[in-house]
Structure 1
Amino acid sequence: MNPLVHRTLVVQLRTDGTGRCPVLARLSHDAGDPFAVTAVFGHDGRVPARRRLDRGMPADGLNGPVGVGDVRPRPVATGTWRELRMDFRGDPQRAG
């Protein structure tokens, strides 16, 4: 079994007062930390933020709002599409 599983996605970043811009998000799961998923967000070759999530949050967030801390996933329906919107609060953990 592979101790590290990851997937890189293009996601849309939106901040208050701006439109959306594409950024890369790499989601990783490490068998050494079985209850967490790490999300690393990058843009233009930089890694501005890293967040650790409970491993069930992304899937649970498709069904309803979850989270009480700095990361709060929730579903959003936009026409025929279902989106997972993640609100990030507080300071991001800086990636090295």
Structure 2
Amino acid sequence: MSALIAVRLNDADGDEVPLLGRFSYDSADPYAVRAQFFAGQTVLPYWCFDRQMLAEGLQRPVGEGDVTFRPQRTAGGEEIRVGLRDSAGGQGVVLLVNARAVKGFLEETYAVTAPGSETFDADGFLEDLLAR
């Protein structure tokens, strides 16, 4: 399942660049939400977020390092501020995402896999990994 959500990128100069985000969820990887961002015809790198951390980020600041989430109120309403930094320690970016759209997407994921009912087949994962 996936949802297209409008996103705004805050650049280094303080300007906002409109993006489109495709947030997707697959019950085969129940802890993860994948987000692919688009600027016009340009496809930007995708990110993998922890589903529970994304949900908590709607209520309070969470995360450290490469990914952080925190709620934010603006003139446009409630948003979630997503901080992204590459693992090489480069300069990060800030995305602003409509909180209502994220909540709606998460509710759809909970209909597929309820919070707390996620399972992970570690043996199967290792078997697949070692078979490569």
TM-score greater than 0.5 by the shorter chain: yes
**What is the number of residues matched between the two proteins?**
87
- SS of the residue 1:18 aligns to: coil
Structure showing greater relative contact order (alpha-carbon pairs closer than 8 Å, 6 or more residues apart): 2
Q: What are the residue-to-residue correspondences of 1:4-83 with 2, within 5 Å?
A: 5-79=1-75, 81-83=77-79
TM, length-normalised to structure 2 = 0.61
- SS of the residue 2:86 aligns to: coil
Separation in 1, partners of 2:6, 2:22: 9
- SS of the residue 2:63 aligns to: coil
Letter in 2 for 1:11: V
Separation in 1, partners of 2:29, 2:76: 36
Identical-pair percentage: 37
Structure 1 unaligned residues grouped into runs of 5+:
92-96
Task: Please state which structure has a larger fraction of its residues in strand.
Answer: 1
TM, length-normalised to structure 1 = 0.82
Instruction: Pick the structure with greater CA Rg.
Output: 2
Separation in 1, partners of 2:64, 2:75: 28
By how many angstroms is 1:79 displaced?
Answer: 4.5
Separation in 1, partners of 2:59, 2:52: 11
Structure 2 unaligned residues grouped into runs of 5+:
88-132
Separation in 1, partners of 2:54, 2:15: 23
- SS of the residue 2:25 aligns to: strand
CA RMSD of the aligned region, Å? 1.5
